[in-house]
Homo-oligomer: A and B are copies of this chain.
Amino acid sequence: MYTRTCSKLSKLSTNEIEQFLNSFDTVLTDCDGVLWLDNIVIDKANLVMNKLRDCGKKIFYITNNSTKLREEFVKKSTKLGFNCVKDEVISTSYLVADYLKNIGFNKKVYIVGSTGVSQELDLVGIKHTGVGPDVQTSIPNLLQTTQLDPDVGAVVVGFDEHISFPKLFKAGSYLKDPNCLFVATNTDEQFPSNTNFVVPGTGVAVAAVQTCAGRQPIVVGKPYTYICNALIKEYGIDPKHILLGTRCGFQTMLVLTGVTTLDEVLQWKESKKVEENELVPDVYLDKLGDLLQYLN
């Protein structure tokens, strides 16, 4: 019924909707464009999420944003009327720290990123080289004075508004050692923006580092599968019973308040490319708030 046919939920029968709502026990939701835009809740999205939670669904707020601690996300979503605790937030800086902890990483991390990454590492007791500006610019000077820290065993790239030549120089130099891990929070090219400007996303720093390092990073964020596998393993979630996140075999529901348009979906549906077919959601809604009526 709701398998890759991309039905509009409101067009299904009451029976079908009930069957759909009973088919999952876990909800993974994107934040920006689904729940809120900047600091404004998208119509009734908070009521829907709270209702799903009250119905006993397990909720995960998933964000590629690597600049905040999970605590800070809880504050923001609480302020916007979402009932939410830290364990329900999966941010990419948290995932990086969790990943390094899980593999028993006991060296130091060189960070191209922000306090979101450094503080999540602090919370799991992993050492790092700190964050912030690094603008020493003469190359002869860099070559002469840079001392690579022999304890560094990983380079983590997240969002860094202080990206600079010395940082790329150091990241690339650490990654020359094939044993040095290379981890990226996410690869989003741009931030969503309704201005005339292009606000470069984390993917820009990742592209820069991988170009000079000649290596590909492990990416923990969406749409890579690491994030799903982490959830499946750590929380014992059965992917068949999850809503959202198609690359891992989850059911997916699209809301049209984000970057994806229905036209794009219809193109993907007709496409001969598997990777585009995979993007077609099981069901869609104009906005998350439209789900509310079916939850009462």
Contacts and interface: CB of A to CB of B under 8 A. Distances in A.
Interface in A74-106: none
Given A137-B161, A161-B139, A163-B164, A169 B199 contact: yes
A9 to B, nearest CB: 32
A212 interface: yes
Given A138-B161, A162-B165, A212 B205 contact: no
Nearest to A168: B200
A217 interface: no
Interface size class of A (residues with CB under 8 A): 35 or more
Contact of A199 (B139, B205, B207, B213): B139
Contact of A164 (B142, B164, B212): B164
Interface in A151-184: 160-165, 168-169, 172-173, 175-176
Given A176-B196, A176-B198, 19 more contacts: A133-B135, A135-B135, A137-B161, A139-B161, A139-B199, A163-B208, A165-B200, A168-B204, A169-B198, A169-B199, A172-B197, A172-B199, A172-B200, A175-B198, A190-B212, A200-B211, A203-B211, A207-B208, A207-B211
A40 interface: no
Contact of A208 (B146, B169, B208): B208
A200 B197 CA distance: 27
A189 interface: yes
Nearest to A162: B137
